[in-house]
Amino acid sequence: MKFSTDKTHRDYFYKHGAIEFDELFSPAQLKELNTAIDAVLCTKLSIKPFQLAKQMPGDFFAKGHDFLEAMKP
């Protein structure tokens, strides 16, 4: 299924600075996305996956702001 926005969506976004779409991703897609995010954070923080829960939010912000850079080969 192709997803697109219309003028009312864009107007809402420009007015409020954010927009939310229910069920935009399937549960399987969300799981895959979260797994990929965790993998990138582990790489950028040089930690093992089980150590993610022990990290401070500031560590995520400091190292997690540029995910695409970490994914380059």
Domain range enclosing 54: 23-71
Cα 58 from Cα 53, distance rounded (Å) = 13
Q: Is residue 63 part of a domain?
A: yes
This prediction's pTM: 0.62
The pLDDT tens digits for 11-36 are 999 999 999 988 888 999 999 999 99
Task: Tally Cβ neighbours within 10 Å of residue 45.
Answer: 16
Q: How far is CA 41 from CA 2, 24, 62, in A?
A: 30, 24, 11
Half-sphere exposure at residue 43, Cβ-oriented, CA atoms within 13 angstroms: 15
Question: What total of structural domains would you count in the chain?
Answer: 1
Judge contact between 56 and 70, C-beta under 8 A.
no
Q: Is residue 35 part of a domain?
A: yes
Residue type, 19: I
Mean pLDDT score across all residues of the chain: 84
